[in-house]
Amino acid sequence: GTVSLADPAVTGARRVHARVKGKVQGVGFRDFTAKAATELKLTGWVKNLAEGDVEVVAEGPADVLQAFADKLLAGPPSSKVEGVAILAAKAGTGEFKAFEVKP
């Protein structure tokens, strides 16, 4: 499936807040996410949630965020992503300097 993050007509930085569901903990998902985000020059963070999901906040151009979402849907080889839920998509704030893995 695909995840639509923003109206392509909107230019400038966007922020997306997402929750990744499935077998996404203990499989290197956070490192995979950080590597993908860094390669795409996105900023933000990723962390594990107590209930087994992974939470992601990322900022960057809408088209780049779309590519990032596609990577999250695929996940690393040992993961089994059941879905990516977009909690919010709005204008970016520029508050992040890099992309970090939170505990």
Q: Do 81 and 75 meet the contact criterion of CB atoms below 8 Å apart? A: yes
Q: Is residue 14 annotated as a catalytic residue, yes or no?
A: no
CA 28 to chain centre: 14
**H/E element, 91:** strand 80-91
Q: Is residue 30 annotated as a catalytic residue, yes or no?
A: yes
Active site (catalytic) residues: 30, 48
